[in-house]
A = this chain, B = another copy of it.
Amino acid sequence: MNASGETTSLFGVILAGGVGARFWPLSRAAYPKQVLRLLGTESMLHATIRRILPLIPAERLAVVTNAEQADVIRLDLHHYNLTDIPLWLEPQRKNTAAAVALAACRFYSCSPDACLAVFPADHYIQDEPAFLMGLLQGLRLAHRGYLVTFGIQPTRPETGYGYIKAGEPLDANGTSFQSAAFIEKPDLNRAQAFLQAGSYYWNSGIFLFRLPDILQALQNFLPEIYQKFAQLKDDDTPARLGEIYQDLPDISLDHGIMEKAPNVAVVPLNVGWSDVGSWGALHDLFPQDGRGNVQLGRTIDQGSRDCLFFTQDRLVATLGLDNIIVVDTPDATLVCHRQQAQQVKDLVRMLEEKDCVETKQHLTVERPWGSYTVKDSGPGYKVKQVVVAPGKRLSLQLHNIRAEHWVVVQGTALATVGKQQHRLAANESIYVPPQTAHRLENPGTDPLVIIEVQTGPYLEEDDIVRLEDDFWREVTAAN
């Protein structure tokens, strides 16, 4: 068996359809966990892709997400120059069985003998070389006909994960096992027993199998999903995919197949894994000071213990706290007890019921050309700081209702308003009347920053007609 020979037939799919509401207020409906830079400067999605590129190059990868999140995922891929990786959009949010079936069918049509690895988009892995070695071990088992799962040695009696019981060893080194049982999230007593027993592993949600084997398993154990996807064609329209998804069962791959199939293997991974499931998990992943605190951002503390303080540009000062999480963003702050970090999800549901805008969007919105930040708004006006990256330009657009006043405050702007082009330096301004085609461009090598004052009776983002665009965004033919 030859490793390089094996991996050329290995495809990968990244499941990036989650919301990650537990990371509110950093996560928003339009800014899910997988694009957050929770652990440094790269998004969780990018870390997931970068980590596996040595084994699976971009041309054999795909990202599956749902239509609602298409823009933000595409922007993240764009940001990291990963636009070659296809983005497959599920018309509805189903569960992992459907997403894996979609990927398996799509890859099968071009490479029916290949293997497929499945990765959640939002996990952390500390020891990446060891992780790749584990995947290679899984690949060998897949070639032997196993549906391979990857198990994490438990370090605490966690009740929030599923467990896999390891059975008979499948190799001489004891680095892989037949799966003896799949156990749904246990209660604390059982979780403690699993921890002591030693032969139970957390289910990491990472899988690897030959395409024919997973399709056979789908046919055997989830025939209602298999039948639907058997009708899938390469050139299916979104509408056609919508029909396929309409009545699909909402079931996980674990529950639908792995619990039932006889040929399931588990490869234990000792790689410093975390699913980064909540702010509490983040507290565990960062170095703590002598009092057990993790302080990220502009925080000043006196006398607190075992806390996580996470801020962006605002100042957060803390005093005498114990096991408290404070997460601060420009428009919303969360303060919660560390033991309740999982319940942030319920809190977000409450906020959504009250229609709080802070669950939807950040004040800063990233765009393929740069970003904008809402700095002020009131009846009849909105103020944005707009940053355009060097050499980039916004779409040629017009607004039916609002007018815009642009003041250049850093860099140089090339402003098209109507048929005129104007080159504006810092401290120069221009007025853009309603219903006038306009475009903002940064012709320089430094970032361009403008202050945009919008006025008018309607100031929402959907008052925009895009006439031309440098990116993937839909344009409307001009009259």
Contact = CB atoms under 8 A, between A and B. Distances in A.
- Taken together, the copies of this chain in the complex come to 2
Interface in A284-339: 300, 302-303, 314-322, 324, 326, 328, 331-337, 339
Nearest to A373: B376
Contacts of A456: 427
Nearest to A334: B317
Given A314-B331, A375-B376, A451 B336 contact: no
A368 B454 CA distance: 28
Given A331-B314, A375-B376, A405-B429, A302 B455 contact: no
A378 B317 contact: no
Nearest to A340: B320
Contact of A319 (B302, B320, B347, B358): B347
Contacts of A451: 376, 381, 383, 451, 453
Contact of A335 (B324, B354, B380, B383): B324
A318 B302 contact: no
B380 A340 contact: no
Contacts of A300: 347, 350-351, 354, 356
A206 interface: no
Given A354-B300, A410-B378, A426-B455, A340 B315 contact: no
A403 interface: yes
A427 B404 CA distance: 9
A365 to B, nearest CB: 15
Interface string A371-409: 001011011110101000000000000000001010101
Contact of A455 (B319, B334, B375, B409): B409
Interface residues of A, number: 58
A295 to B, nearest CB: 13
Contacts of A346: 302
A32 interface: no
A436 to B, nearest CB: 14
Nearest to A454: B409
A20 interface: no
A80 interface: no
Contacts of A403: 427
8 contacts: A300-B351, A314-B333, A321-B337, A326-B335, A379-B410, A405-B429, A429-B429, A429-B431
Given A319-B340, A381-B409, 9 more contacts: A315-B331, A315-B333, A315-B351, A317-B332, A317-B333, A324-B324, A326-B335, A375-B376, A378-B410
